[in-house]
Amino acid sequence: MTSQRVGFVGLGLMGAPMASNIASAGWSVTAWNRTDAVFRRLPSVQRAANVAELRNDDVIIFMLPDLPFIEEAAVDLLESWRDQPPKPGTAVVIMSSVSPTAVQLFGETVRQASSGNAVVVDAPVSGGTAGAQSGSLAIMVGATENQFQALKPLLETMGTTVRRMGPLGSGSLAKACNQLIVGTTTAALAEAAELAERSGMDVHALYEVLSGGLAGSRVLDNVGPRLAAKDYAPTGPAKFMHKDLGFVLTSAEAVGAAVPLATAAIDLYAELKRQGLGDQDLAVVRQTIANLSLAPAETPNSN
């Protein structure tokens, strides 16, 4: 990377601390966000009036909920590049969880709009808001080796585990696999909590003993306390898990892979959304399961 100018689009629960960490590492960060209030908490980040103002930055990072939001936000940017192409080597980095197939199509759109001067790299993240704040995210990158090496110093300002997974789309597929594991594990922990509590067991004690055995995991460590306490204050909206599991099913269909757990999980998270719980934390899947549970059956009359 010849300079240290970075554009950033989307300063939500994840994006704001990510942009702050980039700026703290010495990059000049200019960002656009739909609302302005967040900039009062980010004095080191300059505010852009619109996304097209980022057109001359070496790297433009998007951290919006899904690719359709990114495509909508990028309309004026791409239009400006059609009139005056960006410098060669400009990188558009998609750090949201998006469809592996759709991000490849978006890469072709960007290539055409920029006369081949800009490339799309997908680099979704895992680690939640805590990882975003501490700069310890896991970042899964879909790019050529040269593109990855050029971006690696920037990505390492946000994450401690930064890996190239393959060409464009591979990062998003890796994130889909991540979400398959996180979504099904969280659901299993929620089921165990409901079963234990309804049977008179202390869920905190259950999770403590599970963490010391084969069932121990980072998901249990991070989400378990919220599940046990029924604390559903959002660290990230649960409804996005349904979207991400959809990417698992689409990717599996494309290669003929069986994904029975993902198939069951997407139905559960669809039910979570139907219950109106989608804006709460992922741990709210426990409430979804509780709402589905039946009262204990009455003992049949022996007479």
Report, as residue numbers or ranges, the catalytic residues: 175
φ and ψ at residue 291, rounded to 5 degrees: -65, -25
Q: Report residue 45 CA to chain centroid gap.
A: 22
Question: In sequence order, what are the residues at sequence separation of 6 or more whose Cβ sits closer than 8 angstroms to the Cβ of residue 244?
Answer: 97, 175, 176, 179, 183
Q: Contacts from 158-165 at CB under 8 Å and sequence distance 24+?
A: 158/18, 158/21, 158/22, 158/125, 158/132, 159/125, 159/127, 159/131, 159/135, 160/135, 160/136, 161/137, 162/138, 163/138, 163/139, 165/140, 165/141
SS3 state of residue 91: strand
DSSP state at residue 297: P
Residues 81 and 55 sit within 8 Å (Cβ to Cβ): yes
SS3 state of residue 262: helix
Which H or E run includes 29? strand 28-32
